[in-house]
Amino acid sequence: GKKAYPVAVGTPARVAKLSEIGALDARKLELVIVDTARNQKDFHLMSLPDTQQDTYALIEKYLLPRIKG
């Protein structure tokens, strides 16, 4: 069978998509790390409206329910 790991690496939209299609079960995540470093163009995760919206959606739809139990 498939072996699952409690790790996901990707953009907020990609991690949400993995959860949506069942490839990632956010309930099994033990740790979430958010990279807020600026890239070469001086952007960070929350400086662009699309990634900001994706980040909030990921937290609200997949991470908060896990925290709330």
| DSSP secondary structure of 1-69 | -PPP-S---S-HHHHHHHHHTTS--GGG-----------TTS--TTTSHHHHHHHHHHIIIIIHHHHH-
**Tens digits of per-residue pLDDT, 9-32?**
888 888 888 888 988 887 777 778
The string of pLDDT tens digits covering residues 33-62 is 888 889 899 998 889 899 999 999 989 998
pLDDT of 5 over the 80 cut: no
Q: Structure pTM? A: 0.73
What pLDDT, on the 0 to 100 scale, is given for residue 56? 92
